[in-house]
Chain A
Amino acid sequence: MDNIGYYPGCSLLGTAKEYEQSIRHVFSKLGINLIEVDDWSCCGATSAHATNHLLSVALPMRNIILAKKQGLKSLFIPCAACYNRFVVARYEIENRPELRKKIEDVLEEKIETDIEILNMIEMFQRIDRELFLSKRQRDLKGLKVAAYYGCLLVRPNGVTGFDDPEMPSAMEDVVRLTGAETVDWNFKVECCGASHSITNMTVVTTLSKRIIDDAVENGAEAIIVACPMCHSNLDMRQRNIAKMDSQHKSIPIFYLSELVGFSMGIDKEDLGLSLHFIDTESVLARFSTAIVAKE
């Protein structure tokens, strides 16, 4: 069994519970052992980097130091926002010696940054294609989905070093392994409004509506995400969008790990699908019984 370090991030303990549940089930099925960073703490999120630069680097670094002490060579960070804070903090430490010195003083520890940081999609890219297909129990053929990356997986270009910042395609490759089809669309890296969800909801409903509408116009029945913030803005806030516009056509929003888990035949309750605000049965019902027998 492969061992990989795991930093869930705070959202996965609360608003993104289903993301955590589906990840645990999917990777256990794939034979990967996720080792949680012992006593991990918050990355500081938007609130740290918007108000205190030093803090926004120190908080992720505390966790990197812990992971290194635990002997972890790779760290899987499923939340795109945490993932971004970690890679940006590491980049800053590696490129600004005077900042490294300051952060080492704050943490009272030497910093070593040689640890591989993986987002949700990169985790799936590591899985052998044959192994992935051998675990598949449902062919999601005929399901049309839009792969949505949002901001923090692909930007800033050259810092996350993941895929193309304007036209990424790695998530589509993973989605296709479930049998589902991916649509071509325009908003895969547009912002959903992020933390304005609480402070200025109009920003979020306006931006998220444009994203959902474009996915629907291009034939998608669902949107696939790998970020708790994107999920809550597109799923939970879709109720507010529907209130704003009576013509709004609702579509379910899945975490990538939920879609993969469903194709592997994992129980819908185990994947946390009932925790969504927008019903998922409308698109999944037709596949529910279609478990493929393996020889």
Chain B
Amino acid sequence: MSAHVKVREREKLTLAEEIEELTGINSLKCYQCGKCSAGCPVRVFMKVPPNKVVRFVQLGLEDEALRSETIWMCAGCLTCSTRCPQNFDLAKFMDALKEIAIKKGVISKDDILKFHKAFLKQVEANGKAFEFGLIRDYKLATFNIFQDLDIAPEMFFKGKIKLFSHRIKDRDKIKKIFDRCKE
């Protein structure tokens, strides 16, 4: 169980404790060998390497961890999680940091969060993903209007993007699942 010694009862959990509660991952398991950052395919697009984000959490530098763009740049490829000699699931750890950052309203890569929100909005409403709605909402939210306008007609004529969504029957259930998971 938790390796974090609770000196006295506190109302507020530390970031490390919150991550452990959410994922079962003990932040102290990481011994900073750096193998994750060495093999990370998106490392070159990050200012702070992934292992350093873990270090922030270990040291209680919560703001540094939650505000780092690294947590949003992670592509979730799971290379780090697979190679870690300590079996530390860093990709899941990055997901937990994003989830906590959202709760605290500390968002360093707003465009990526807008993408996720636009995606889930369609799933919540229809039970299935809906690309046209996703792209429309994402573009409106980010003002990134012009990207991919060249391929859009072709996608449409190939039938790869449809104007109407597929909808499942039991949408009430999906709505309920979303509501309960947001609580």
Contacts and interface: CB of A to CB of B under 8 A. Distances in A.
A100 B126 CA distance: 25
A28 interface: no
B contact residues, range: 35 or more
B161 interface: yes
Contacts of B23: 53
Overall SS of chain B's interface: helix
Nearest to A211: B41
Contacts of B75: 191, 193-196, 203
A10 B169 CA distance: 15
Interface stretch (B6-14, B30-38, B58-66, B110-118): B110-118
The range of chain A's interface size is 35 or more
B181 A194 contact: no
A87 B160 CA distance: 27
A199 B111 contact: yes
Most buried by A among B113, B117, B158, B177: B177
Given A45-B119, A51-B120, A203-B45, A198 B138 contact: yes
Nearest to B170: A39
A201 interface: yes
A207 interface: yes
A10 B81 CA distance: 27
A162 interface: no
Report which residue of A10, A154, A193 has the largest number of chain B beta carbons within 10 angstroms of its beta carbon. A10
A246 interface: no
A127 B138 CA distance: 42
Given A15-B131, A39-B170, A41-B174, A52 B161 contact: no
Contacts of A196: 42, 75
A42 interface: yes
A157 interface: yes
A224 B88 CA distance: 31
Contacts of B159: 17, 275
A201 B146 CA distance: 13
Nearest to A243: B150
B81 to A, nearest CB: 5
Interface in B119-145: 119-120, 123, 127-131, 135, 138
A256 interface: no
B177 A46 contact: no
A8 B166 CA distance: 13
B128 A13 contact: yes
Contact of A51 (B77, B98, B147, B177): B98
Contacts of A194: 75-77
Contact of B78 (A106, A156, A200, A203): A156
Contacts of A40: 168
Nearest to B173: A62
A261 interface: no
Interface in A157-212: 157, 165-166, 189-191, 193-196, 198-203, 206-207
B82 A275 contact: no
Contacts of A203: 42, 45, 73, 75
A239 interface: yes
Q: Which 5 A-B pairs have the closest CB atoms?
A: A191-B77, A10-B129, A155-B78, A47-B116, A47-B119
Given A14-B162, A193-B42, 18 more contacts: A14-B161, A15-B131, A46-B76, A46-B116, A48-B120, A48-B123, A51-B120, A53-B22, A53-B95, A62-B174, A155-B79, A156-B82, A194-B76, A196-B75, A198-B147, A200-B45, A202-B45, A275-B158
